[in-house]
Structure 1
Amino acid sequence: MRLGSKTADEFFGALAEKSDKISKLFQKRIESLTEPIKTKVMLGDTSVIDQTTFDPSKTGEFYEWILKTMKDWKSDGVSRTAEEDLRRVFVKLEKRIGNYLLFWHMSLQYHVLLYYKPDSKVPKIQKELADLLDGTKTKEKELADLTDSIIRERLEAMGHKDIDEQKLFEILFNEDGFREQIGQEVSSKTDFDFKAKERRKVELFNELDSLLVETYQTTSVLIDENRLVTGEEGCVCTFDLDLLKKNTRVAIFEPRRVPERTKQEILDSLDEIIKTLST
C-alpha cells in the first residue's frame, strides 16, 4: 500500500504524515544537490555561451550515504539508467518489520544536453571536415562522369551504341573482365584516394566527439512514478507498506490487524529517516 493515500485510519494517517515529511526533507536535499552552476560551452556555430548544469554524481553519493547510515535496510545499491538524453539515478530500499515489508524509493530524473568544449580545435576540425566533404562530393561527381564516359567508349568499341539500361546492366553483370577493365582505367585516371579520405573523415568525427561535453538539466519538484515513467524531470520519494503472506506481498490489508508492536516499529523506522535527513 502506498503511504500518503487518504485514509480515516489513525495508523495509516500517522504514516502518511511522516512519509510526507520525509518527502519534503528529501526534496530539500535534492534542491541543494542540483543547485545550478554556470559553465562555458560552445555551440555548433562555435559561439561560446553560458550554460547551467549540475553534478549528478552528488545525488549518487547522497544515496550511498543513506545506505551506509540506514544499515538495517536492504538494497541492491544505487542504480542508473540512460535512454538517449534521459537519465535517472535511483535507489530502492526495503525493511522487514514483523510480517510487513516497508519499501522506500528515491529517484532523480534529468536530461542531458550536449555541447562542445570551448576549444579552438572545434572550428579547425569543422573547417577541415567541411572541406573534405565538399572535396569528396566534387570528386565523386567527377569520378561518376569519368566512369560513364569510359563505359560509353568501351561499349562503342564493342559495337554497342545507344544501348538501353537493361542491356547495359546485363553486360556489367555478366562480363567480369569488362568491369575489371573499367575499374582499372578509372583508377589510372584519378589520383584521389577515397579510402584515405574516408579514414580521415572518421578521425575528424571522432576528434569532434572527444570535444563534446555533457550538461545536465532537472528540477527538484516532487513527481509521482507515473510522471517519472513518462520522462518528466524531477525527484521521487515514496513509501509502500505491504503484508508478507506466505512469501507473497499483499498491498491491501486491514490496518487494525497490524500488531501494536509492529506499528510502533514501523513508525520508529520512519522517525529514524526523518532524523537522518534532518542532520
Structure 2
Amino acid sequence: MRLGSKSTDEFFGVLAQKSQQISQIYQKNIDGLVKPTPIKVMLGDTTITDQNTFDPEAVDKFYNSILAKSPKWKSQGITTTSDEDLRRIFVKMECQIKNYTMLWHMALQYRALLYYKPDIRVQNIQKELAEIMDNTINKEKELAELTDSMIKERLAAMGYKDLDEQTLFEVLFENDHLRDEISSETAKKTDYDFKAKDQRKKELFKELDNLLLEAYTTTSVLIDENRLVTGEEGCVCTFDLDFVKNKKKEAIFDPKRIAPDTKQEIIQALDDIIRSLQN
C-alpha cells in the first residue's frame, strides 16, 4: 500500500503524516542541491551565452549519506539511467519489520543539455572543417569530370562511341581491368589527398567532441512515479508498506490485524528517517 493514500484507518493516517513530513524534508534537501549555478557556454554558431546548471554528483553524495545513516534498510545502491538527454538518479530501499516490508523510493529526474566549452579552438576547428569539406566537394567534382573524360576517350579508342549511360555502366561493370586503370590514372592527375583529408576530418570531429560540456536542468518539485515515467523533471519520495505472506508481498491488507508492537516499529522506522534527514 502506498503511504499517503486515502484511508479512514488511524494508523495509516499516522503513517501518511510521517511520510509526508519525510517528503517535505527530502524536497528541501533536493532544492538546495539543484539550485541553478550560472556558467558560460558556447552554442553551435560559436555564440557565447549564459546557461544554468547543477551538480548531479551532489545528489549522489546526498543519497549515499542517507544509505550510510540507514543501516536497517537494504539497498542495491544508487542507480543512474540515461535516455538521450533524460537522466535519472535513484535509490530503492527496503526495511523488513516482522511480517511487513516497507519500501522507500527516492529519485531525481533531470535533463542534460549539450554545449561547447567557451574556447576559441571550437571556432578554429569549425573553420578548418568547413574548408576541408568545401575543397573536397570541389576536388571530387573536378575528379569526376576528369574521370568521365578519360572514360570516354578510353572507350572511344576501344571502339565504343556515343554510348548511353546504361551501356556505359555495363561496359565498365564487366571490365575490372579498365576500371582499375582509369582509377589509377585519375588518382595520379590530382594532388589532393582524399584519404589524408578524411583522416583529418575524423581527428577534428573527435577534438570537437572533447570540447563538449553538459549543463543540467531540473526542478525540486515532488512528482509521482507516473510523471517520472512520462519524463517530467522533478524529485520522487514515496513509501509503500506490504504484508508478506508465504514469501509473497500483498499490497492490500487489514491494518487492524497489525500487532501494536509491529505498528510501533513501523512508526519508529519512519521517525529514524526524519531524524537522519534533519541532521
Shorter-normalised TM-score: what interval? over 0.9
**Please, which runs of 5 or more residues in structure 1 have no aligned partner?**
none
Residues 191-202 of structure 1 correspond to what in structure 2 (within 5 A)?
A: 191-202=191-202
**d(CA) in 1 for partners of 2:239, 2:166:** 71
Residues 111-260 of structure 1 correspond to what in structure 2 (within 5 A)?
A: 111-260=111-260
1:5-24 deviation per Cα after TM superposition (whole angstroms, max 9, x unaligned): 01101111111111111111
**d(CA) in 2 for partners of 1:148, 1:2:** 75
Are 1:270 and 2:270 counterparts? yes
Aligned to 1:191, the other structure's residue is in SS state: coil
Q: CA deviation at 1:137?
A: 1.1
**d(CA) in 1 for partners of 2:257, 2:161:** 97
* TM-score of the superposed pair, with normalisation by structure 2: 0.98
Q: Which residue of structure 1 aligns with residue 43 of structure 2?
A: 43
Q: Which residue of structure 1 aligns with residue 83 of structure 2?
A: 83
Aligned to 2:61, the other structure's residue is in SS state: helix
**d(CA) in 1 for partners of 2:146, 2:85:** 45
Aligned to 1:124, the other structure's residue is in SS state: helix
Q: CA deviation at 1:143?
A: 1.3
Q: CA deviation at 1:111?
A: 0.3
**d(CA) in 2 for partners of 1:272, 1:201:** 58
Aligned to 2:77, the other structure's residue is in SS state: coil
**d(CA) in 1 for partners of 2:271, 2:154:** 90
**d(CA) in 1 for partners of 2:18, 2:146:** 80
Are 1:4 and 2:4 counterparts? yes
The percentage of aligned residue pairs carrying the same residue is 61
- Aligned-residue RMSD, C-alpha: 0.9
Aligned to 1:195, the other structure's residue is in SS state: helix
**d(CA) in 2 for partners of 1:249, 1:167:** 75
Of 91-100 and 118-127, the range deviating more from structure 2: 118-127
**d(CA) in 1 for partners of 2:157, 2:257:** 100
Aligned to 1:207, the other structure's residue is in SS state: helix
* Aligned-partner residue type, residue 214 of structure 1: E
**d(CA) in 1 for partners of 2:172, 2:100:** 77
Q: CA deviation at 1:166?
A: 2.6
1:226-265 deviation per Cα after TM superposition (whole angstroms, max 9, x unaligned): 1111111000000011111111111111111111111110
**Please, which runs of 5 or more residues in structure 2 have no aligned partner?**
none
Q: Aligned residues, how many?
A: 279
